[in-house]
Amino acid sequence: MGKTGKPKRTVARRMKGFRDIAAADVAARDRMIARIRTVYERYGFTPLETPALEYVDVLGKFLPEADQPDAGIFAFRDEDQDWVALRYDLTAPLSRFVAMNLQHLPLPFRRYQIAPVYRMDKPGPGRFREFYQFDFDTVGTGSMLADAECCMVMCDALEAVGIDRGDYIVNLNDRKVLTGVLERVAGGSRMADDLAGNVLRQIDKLERIGREGVEQMLGAGRKDDSGAFNQGTGLTPEQINIVMTYLDVAGDTRRAVYDAMESVVGDSKIGREGVDELRQIDETLTCAGYGDDRVVIDPTVVRGLAYYTGPVFEAVLTFDVQDDNGQSRQFGSVFGGGRYDNLIARFTGQQVLSTGASMGVDRLLAALKALGKIGGVSATAPVLVSRLDKNLTADYVELVTELRDAGIGAELYVGKQGIGKQFKYASDSGKTLAIVMGSDELAKGEISMKDLRLGNELAKEIGADRKRWLEEQPAQFSTPRANLVSAVREVLARYA
């Protein structure tokens, strides 16, 4: 109680960057996920669930934004004063699981996981602190077959949810090729990790700052849009030239691209290994029918995570959509992944060769919505049994039970508003049909039905002629009580 004697109210509020997801969106997402799960399972991936909380040292620090000091995770001390955190991805928990179960896990182990992950990023439009990832990984093999299948899974998943071939592309590259290029930049020996990381980050900015921007950032630096000067990597013009030659590699076929890469990496052993990996993946893809229209080799793909060791890949949506301001924009990458042969070794001390990819659930869902490929998923029971006369409640309970026993979703109106408000409630909550029965109908052994969708459409069409419509009520009709189930089925079938 406050000093005034009034009870102090709690303010109902949600944490910033978090959201509530309404029925239609949950249903649309679940439908999308079900289709993608079918694809993952078709390749032999099986579900695994790991906890949302893990020890911080077990998760490690592998966020792509790790160089931004304000990017973070939700971490706190547990009752034993150990640091724990909400998972920020699904790969770190998978690594922990594999390390704990390596003795008895049949390898290669193929798992998928769909779960929310948590990042304390700066929230913004479409950027949430709790969001779903949907990962699939193959653990315990160095075979490029597994990496080729990653590319195939991404293609199949996107087509399964209705993205047409041609509206997406899988971009493939290999970190070993990049390492080979950096070896050449470093004059033939392995480039120091810090410097290599710096160069890769500049390359990764290509899409944002353009070719010239990358060239400047590899050298002395450049002014960004705000006018601030960003310090560059400080490579010599000759060194920069090697990187730019590599980034300019292009070709009409995957083969043409890795052949061109081969000449850039020269005699770098690791670079040649990377080219050979791309060659193997290309052969498998070709064999399985995944041509250059679906998977291309792109020398500019880096993928942000420091732990990738071999092939890296992403699936990108290539069509434009108009946003609310009439601006055309692209959705960009909806899958990202790669091979991480050393990640599990930080627990086991020995390599557990692994590869996999992660789907950004929200971005793909937004794209499907923009394409009109996922709308109209109704999560509500289609029928409302209204209560015109509260004295007939027992009869209404019988009606609704009969419908449910027939497997038809039917909600009994349990509020206390009048029939007009009940129809509005039925429309607002997405019902297809309302059933009405007064004492007259009861005496005649009849029920009335109102086709709410038809009613709403007619109401729109008729407009000014509303009065006539109200009198004629074309969307409303009567039927014998005994025909309840079949009459309801008939109306529902109009919208099936």
- Which member of 53, 244, 366, 392 binds a second copy (CB under 8 A)? 53
User: Cβ of 375: how many Cβ atoms within 10 Å?
Assistant: 10
Using the minimum distance from each CB to a second copy, give the nearer residue, 64 or 116: 116
226-285: which residues touch a second copy (CB under 8 A)?
283-284
Which of 44-52, 169-177, 270-278, 359-367 is the region at the interface with a second copy (rule: CB under 8 A)?
Answer: 44-52
Residue that has been written with the tokens 């002014």 in this structure: 223
1-20: which residues touch a second copy (CB under 8 A)?
7, 9-15, 18-20
Separation between Cα atoms, residue 38 and residue 109, nearest integer Å:
18
State the number of binding residues for a second copy (CB under 8 A): 98
Using the minimum distance from each CB to a second copy, give the nearer residue, 83 or 229: 83
Separation between Cα atoms, residue 246 and residue 220, nearest integer Å:
20
378-437: which residues touch a second copy (CB under 8 A)?
379-381, 384, 393-394, 397-398, 400-401, 404, 407-416, 424-425, 428-429
Binding string to a second copy for residues 149 to 168, with x set by CB under 8 A, is what? Answer: x------x------------
Separation between Cα atoms, residue 72 and residue 121, nearest integer Å:
6
Q: Are 360 and 366 in contact (CB under 8 A)?
A: no
Q: Is 27 in the site for a second copy (CB under 8 A)?
A: yes
Quickly list DSSP for 296-356: EE-TT---S-TT--SEEEEEEE---EE-TTS-EE--EEEEEEEE-TTSTHHHHSS---EEE
Q: Is 43 in the site for a second copy (CB under 8 A)?
A: yes
Using the minimum distance from each CB to a second copy, give the nearer residue, 250 or 406: 406
Quickly list DSSP for 147-203: HHHHHHHHHHHHHHTTPPTTSEEEEEEEHHHHHHHHHHHTTSSPPPHHHHHHHHHHH
Residue that has been written with the tokens 């179960």 in this structure: 101
Which of 23-31, 161-169, 171-179, 321-329 is the region at the interface with a second copy (rule: CB under 8 A)?
Answer: 23-31
Q: Is 74 in the site for a second copy (CB under 8 A)?
A: yes
Report which residue type is found at 360. G
**Residue 153 region, left (φ>0) first, then alpha (ψ -120 to 50), else beta?**
alpha
Q: Is 110 in the site for a second copy (CB under 8 A)?
A: yes
For residue 427, the minimal CB distance to a second copy (Å) is 9
Using the minimum distance from each CB to a second copy, give the nearer residue, 214 or 410: 410
What are the C-alpha distances in Å from 259 to residues 278, 292, 489? 10, 15, 62
Q: Is 23 in the site for a second copy (CB under 8 A)?
A: yes
Using the minimum distance from each CB to a second copy, give the nearer residue, 53 or 195: 53
Which of 114-122, 203-211, 223-231, 318-326 is the region at the interface with a second copy (rule: CB under 8 A)?
Answer: 114-122
Residue that has been written with the tokens 């924009």 in this structure: 329
Using the minimum distance from each CB to a second copy, give the nearer residue, 12 or 228: 12
- Both tokens of 273, joined, read 């290994």
288-347: which residues touch a second copy (CB under 8 A)?
288-289, 346-347
